[in-house]
Amino acid sequence: MKANPRDVFTGTYYIDGDVAAAYGALAAGCKFLGGYPITPSTEAAEAFARKAPYVGAQFIQMEDELGSIASVLGASWSGKKSMTITSGPGYSLMMENIGLGAAMEIPFVIINIQRSGPSTGVPTSTGQADIMQSKWGANGDYEVIALAPESPQESFDFAIKAFNLAERYRVPVMFMADECVGHMTEKVVIPDASEIEVEPRRFYQGKKEEYIPYRRDQDLVPPIVKAGDGYHLYITGLTHDERGYPLLDHRSLPKIEKAKVIHKKSTNPYLVDKIRKNKDEIIEMQEDHLEDAEVVIVSYGITSRVAYRAFEQARQEGIKVGMLRLITVWPFPDDRIAELAKKVKGFVVPEINYGQIVFEVDRCSHGKANTILVPHGGASVHKPDDILGAIKKIVKDNKKYEQVIEYTTTLEKTIFKGSLTEKIKK
């Protein structure tokens, strides 16, 4: 389906990633934002609030992030495409209801403009340390989808992508930008509505009396209905069967009820299966020069742009390096990394944290290639030279497999006088 022209502010702009994300959400048809101000995400909520009345959308500044996320879940059940916008501490407050959203299979989007942490951290500066939290933050088993834009243009584009994925899979989608992207001002082109593909909500089409809320076909994603349409739903965060009724065990005995066969089986496995089994459809990455690469930089978000400098420099120096940029961070491209690990010497993983995605890369390489972490504590971005240094180290050492190696960055050399791991070893 094409975007509604009313929702699309077509034009060429010079705006930051926060504002671009808000415009992207509106273009995707988002009609409800429940939020709470927090640096560095506030500009996104402000931009949405300014535009909302013109496109029939609603913004409400809730009393806190616990309220924001809960209002989003309710609004989504009312049939509106919905989202919230936040950063680290607010994101932490939302975790319990992310789990509720996953369990109830509610489509919604969370825009997290990451700051550096932990705790209040450095509110005005960048970080990429919520990336594991985005997958594992709530209690229990579930899957989410996470996207990492690297520019304001991608903030616009990925906000639309986030809504499309949320609606397609009835799943929370995490838009994991970082402060750099959020506050960076660049050219953003908003195309005509006729060029924007949006996923409409997949409403149930069958007979009302035959509707079973969590019954699904091979697609694994049940069609949805909305509150107020007479389906008399019972929707709970308790583990439930396909009717939505609570279960205390995971029996799979079909029960005949009024001539209808009800599978009294937990729907929990589908919360992970609907993402894992559709991962090839979901996963997106950008690859550059991987054909002949001996070393592969795996990066996401703002760090990809810094890594690109190192990549170009290395190529100029004749080193066979390639780039793999994660567009969807979750689900993770396990298979692609495993395949590359068989033919490359190693992976270089720069990220603005002390090691998160690097362990995923190491896990997926099954001991076939080395993985170097280029860590960064946040508040700024990497020096391209550090990434270049890590590339050279892999080539020079040409070692047999060992555990994730931590590269000693210039920052650590000059300020911390040695890497953290070295210190621990001493």
Partner 1 sequence: MEAIITQQEAKRHPMDNLLRMDRMPHIWCPGCGIGNAVSAFADALDKLEYNLDKLCVVSGIGCTGRVAGYIKVDSFHTTHGRAIPFATGIKLGNPDIKVVVISGDGDLVSIGGNHFVHAARRNIDLTVICVNNFIYAMTGGQVAPTTPTPAYTTTSPFGNFENPSNVPQLAEAAGAVYVARWTALHMRRLTYSIVDALKKPGFSVVEVISPCAMYYSRINKLGDGLDMMKFYYDHSIIKHGEPTDHLEIDYQKEIIVGKFVDRERPTYSESMGKWFED
List of residues contacting partner 1 (CB under 8 A)? 31-32, 34, 53, 58, 60, 62-64, 66-68, 70-80, 82, 96-97, 100, 226-238, 245-246, 257
**Pure H helices in 78-139:** 88-104, 131-136
Nearer to partner 1, 53 or 269 (CB): 53
Cβ closest to partner 1, residue 236 vs residue 403 = 236
Q: Minimum distance from CB of 51 to partner 1 (Å)?
A: 13
Nearest approach in angstroms of CB 33 to partner 1 is 11
Tell me if the bond preceding 172 is cis, omega within 30° of 0: no
Strand order in the sheet with 295-299: 285-288, 321-326, 295-299, 346-350, 370-374, 405-406
| Residue 106 or 298 having the CB closest to partner 1 | 106
Distance between CA atoms of 329 and 149, rounded to whole angstroms?
Answer: 10
DSSP string for residues in 292-329? S-SEEEEE-THHHHHHHHHHHHHHHTT--EEEEEESEE
Query: Which residue, 233 or 319, is less far from partner 1 as judged by CB?
Result: 233
CA-CA distance, 97 to 54, in Å (whole number)?
A: 30
Contact 389, 407 (CB under 8 A): yes
- Which two structure tokens, joined as six digits, stand for 215? 């019954």
Judge contact between 41 and 18, C-beta under 8 A: yes
345: amino acid identity, one letter:
K
In the bound complex, what is the minimum distance in angstroms from residue 382's beta carbon to partner 1?
39
Q: In this structure, what token pair is assigned to residue 133?
A: 């939290």
Comparing C-alpha atoms, which of 39, 328, 78 is closest to residue 228? 78
Smallest distance, Å, CB 349 to partner 1?
A: 35
Our CB check for partner 1 shows the closer of 75 and 327 to be 75
Structure tokens at 137: 């933050």
Tokens of 424: 């621990």
CB of 279 to partner 1, least distance (A): 28
**Is the CB of 79 or the CB of 191 nearer to partner 1?**
79
CB of 118 to partner 1, least distance (A): 24
Decide whether 220 or 233 has the Cβ nearer to partner 1: 233
Burial class (CB in 10 A: 0-12, 13-18, 19+), 400: exposed
Minimum separation from the CB atom of position 75 to partner 1 (A): 4
Closer residue to partner 1 in complex, CB, 130/241: 241
Minimum distance, C-beta of residue 209 to partner 1, in the bound complex (Å): 14
